[in-house]
Chain A
């Protein structure tokens, strides 16, 4: 798995321009969301967490699909499987790399959110944990579905179609927890949302790892 992760990180480093482009895309969508609400500072601040996660979700479909581009152009993934490599190791290598990338993207979008929506928080450590947990919830099923959709014709449509309904609980919990971090948490609910996120992550990180071999192998 270390070998797979090292390869993924090297590939991501080579395509760092892509990361920058996705960040700009995410930031632009945050800007556009504020036009949907109008110049209402209070409403923007209330919805800021939702916008942040929607921005991250939209960006994730780009990075997840991109992570399989290098595997599919010369069928390098098949080459690795035939060596042989354990599909589970390949899955976790890629899922962890995608998770790191999404977490980084989430961190990068926070200052944009703070500036645009006046939605600052001093609980940075908690916010970081929430973003990491939420990104993990996106990347585990996202990596598996991207592996499927990268092999079919309608990949751009199919990935969000499969992924979005599935990650509803992760999105909901991430938005709630982030929102509580920004707007204050008088009833101390954020811990239970983070627990829900952690449970979602646990289930999908194990389930998708088990099923990945069935998706990439014939």
Chain B
């Protein structure tokens, strides 16, 4: 069995810096330069963080799913570290997404929670992935933990479209998906800038978190003492 490599290097920190710059620029334009939206007014400005968070949350979960599939076939612990990182960052983004959705729903529809298919799917996904994080805490054997979280991730991810369509049928009275094509050009820049900002932040966090997971895995998977070299030699 090969130990996952521990990488050092400043790439993730550059990612974080770039993400913060993008977010500042996008948020500044979104909050102070872009005009207020005709129907929804100032409230609509939450879209500049909400939509980028949504895209990236889904992206993080999709990356977690990809890691799970690769681990299932390759059994390389590098992918387990990435899975752990992607799920944790994805859970954080999904949680933020639910909060933003509630904040947006209150002035718009007058209730904190609305059974919108996207918001509901996010909440279901949040709980599903929290369950996987809990499972990881209770399994000590790294091989078993990695395999089980791969399996659970694949099963949970397969649920996403089913949850989405079932909730949409169940509660079919909602506005269309927001994407740049349905938004007028004045809103482009802040949305795009923030989308890349969150993307860079997320990538940086996932990279750093995967390094931490790798370090832990390296101690868990370390070679037996005798294979590491002769003890007398080390003492000399």
Contact = CB atoms under 8 A, between A and B. Distances in A.
Q: In the complex, is A directly touching B at CB under 8 Å?
A: yes
Interface of A: 141, 144-145, 148-149, 152-154, 157-158, 161-162, 164-166, 168-169, 172-173, 176, 192-193, 196, 199-200, 203-204, 207-208, 211, 214-215, 218
B128 A166 contact: yes
A172 B151 contact: no
Given A172-B166, A196-B169, A199-B162, A166 B139 contact: no
B212 to A, nearest CB: 23
Nearest to B144: A218
B105 interface: no
Given A215-B147, A218-B143, A162 B135 contact: yes
B74 to A, nearest CB: 13
5 contacts: A149-B135, A152-B135, A161-B131, A168-B124, A207-B154
Interface in B154-206: 154-156, 158-159, 162-163, 165-167, 169-170
In the A-B complex, the 4 residue pairs with the smallest Cβ-Cβ separation, listed nearest first, are A169-B166, A165-B127, A165-B128, A162-B131
Contacts of A164: 127
Interface residues of B, number: 31
A200 B169 CA distance: 15
Contacts of B162: 169, 196, 199-200, 203
A53 B73 CA distance: 37
Contacts of B125: 165
A192 B169 contact: yes
B29 interface: no
Given A148-B135, A161-B134, A214 B72 contact: yes
B53 interface: no
Given A196-B169, A214-B150, A166 B159 contact: yes
Contacts of A196: 162, 165-166, 169
B135 A158 contact: yes
Contacts of A161: 127, 130-131, 134
B138 interface: yes
Interface in B121-151: 124-125, 127-128, 130-132, 134-135, 138-139, 143-144, 147-148, 150-151
B56 to A, nearest CB: 21
B132 A162 contact: yes
B216 to A, nearest CB: 19
B210 to A, nearest CB: 22
A208 B154 CA distance: 10
Contacts of B18: none
B177 to A, nearest CB: 19
